[in-house]
Amino acid sequence: MSQTHIKARWKGGAGGSGFLQASESFETRVTLPKDFQGLGEAATPENLLLSAVASCYLITFGIILDKAGIAYEGLELEGELRMDMAPRPSVQAITLSSRIVSRASEETLQALSERAEQFCPIGRTLAGNVAKSIRLTVVAPGP
């Protein structure tokens, strides 16, 4: 079994701020987003959730590409998290748009991307509660 530990602190109400330390090399300020009358000046819970899903997918995809012997020059991603504010705020959807520069076939890369989506434990945790989609754009490397 694997375990993860964090330290966090908060001061104030909706307009307050806090601090999150996940390891010696990762710490960040946290606030509520402006949509919740927060400061919106630091990482928000929504930013952290989207970042967790995105980084899990990218890392998993990179591992799967490596194990498959697929060479690539670049792998990057942009993500979006959408919330429904009524009747109670809830995360409705996460969309990841990834881009890979590789000579491998688009069909192979799409299949491996789908496998990464299936194996990412953070994304699987949200299954059934949050709509999730991943779009992969394949770009051939330059000369």
**pLDDT in the model for residue 71:** 96
Provide the CB-side half-sphere exposure for 3 (13 A, CA): 2
pLDDT of residue 55: 96
d(CA 44, CA 46): 5
> Could you read off the pLDDT of 58-78 as tens digits, one per residue?
999 999 999 999 999 999 999
pLDDT value of position 85:
85
pLDDT surpasses 80 at 143: no
**Average pLDDT rounded to a whole number, residues 41-64:** 95
Give residue 36's pLDDT band: very low, low, confident or very high (50, 70, 90).
confident
Q: What SS3 state is found at 49?
A: helix
- Res 62: pLDDT: 97
Q: Which three-class secondary structure state does DSSP give residue 37?
A: coil
How wide is the angle at C-alpha 96 spanned by C-alphas 75 and 99, nearest 5°?
25
Check if the beta carbon of residue 126 is closer than 8 Å to that of residue 132. yes
Q: What is the separation, in whole angstroms, between the first and last Cα of the chain?
A: 46
Phi and psi at residue 135, in whole multiples of 5°? Answer: -110, 130
The pLDDT of residue 94 is 96
**In this predicted structure, what is the pLDDT of residue 70?**
97
- Asked if residue 42 lies in contact with residue 8, where contact means CB atoms within 8 angstroms, the answer is no
**Type of residue numbered 130:** V
pLDDT of residue 89: 87
- Per-residue pLDDT band at 38 (split at 50, 70, 90): confident
pLDDT tens-place string over residues 80-132? 999 998 888 899 999 999 999 999 999 999 999 999 999 999 999 998 899 99
